[in-house]
Amino acid sequence: MLKAGALQKAIFNSVNFSSIATDAKGVIQIFNVGAERMLGYAAADVMNRITPADISDPQQVIARAKTLSSELGTQIKPGFEALVFKASRGIEDIYELTYIRKDGSRFPAVVSVTALRDDQEAIIGYLLIGTDNTARQQVEAERTRIEQLLAKKNQDIEFIAAKLHQDDTKLIAQQRELLEVQERMVQIDRLSSLGVMVGGVAHEINNPLMGVLNYVEFARDRSDDAKSIEVLNKALHEIGRIKKIVQNMLVFARVDHHANASCRVADAVKQALSLMEGEFKKNAVLMRLDLPEDLPPVHCSAGSLQQVLVNLMLNARDALAQQADRQVNIRASQIDSKVVVSVCDSGPGVSEEVRQKLFTPFFTTKAAGKGTGLGLAVSRQLIEEVGGTISFAPEPGFAACFRMELSVA
Binding site for ligand ADP (CB under 6 A): 311, 315-316, 319, 345, 347, 350, 354, 358, 363-366, 371-377, 400
CA contacts within 13 A on the Cβ side of 241: 11
Residue 324 Cβ vs ligand ADP, minimum distance, rounded to whole Å: 16
Residue 231, exposed/middle/buried by CB under 10 A (0-12, 13-18, 19+)? middle
Residue 358 Cβ vs ligand ADP, minimum distance, rounded to whole Å: 5
Which is closer to ligand ADP, CB of 167 or CB of 279?
Answer: 279
Q: With beta carbons less than 8 A apart as the criterion, state whether 18 and 12 touch.
A: no
Which is closer to ligand ADP, CB of 81 or CB of 345?
Answer: 345
Q: With beta carbons less than 8 A apart as the criterion, state whether 334 and 322 touch.
A: no
Which is closer to ligand ADP, CB of 266 or CB of 314?
Answer: 314
- What is the Cα–Cα distance from 248 to 254, expressed in whole angstroms? 10
The DSSP bridge partners found for residue 402 are 343, 392
- What is the Cα–Cα distance from 165 to 171, expressed in whole angstroms? 9
DSSP 359-386: TSTT---SPTTT--S-HHHHHHHHHHHT
Which is closer to ligand ADP, CB of 341 or CB of 376?
Answer: 376
283 CB contacts (<8 Å, ≥6 apart)? 317, 320, 321, 326
Taking alpha carbons only, the member of 95, 38, 92, 41 closest to residue 65 is 95
Residue 199 Cβ vs ligand ADP, minimum distance, rounded to whole Å: 18
Residue 27, exposed/middle/buried by CB under 10 A (0-12, 13-18, 19+)? middle
Residue 398 Cβ vs ligand ADP, minimum distance, rounded to whole Å: 9
Which is closer to ligand ADP, CB of 38 or CB of 316?
Answer: 316
- What is the Cα–Cα distance from 397 to 376, expressed in whole angstroms? 22
Which is closer to ligand ADP, CB of 21 or CB of 374?
Answer: 374
Q: Which residue is nearest to ligand ADP (CB)?
A: 375
Residue count of the chain: 409
Which is closer to ligand ADP, CB of 107 or CB of 363?
Answer: 363
Residue 250 Cβ vs ligand ADP, minimum distance, rounded to whole Å: 15
Q: Which CA distances in Å does 208 have to 194, 202, 232, 247, 369? A: 22, 11, 17, 14, 20
Residue 388 Cβ vs ligand ADP, minimum distance, rounded to whole Å: 17
3-class state of residue 50 by DSSP: coil
Which is closer to ligand ADP, CB of 249 or CB of 386?
Answer: 249
Residue 242 Cβ vs ligand ADP, minimum distance, rounded to whole Å: 14
Residue 156 Cβ vs ligand ADP, minimum distance, rounded to whole Å: 60
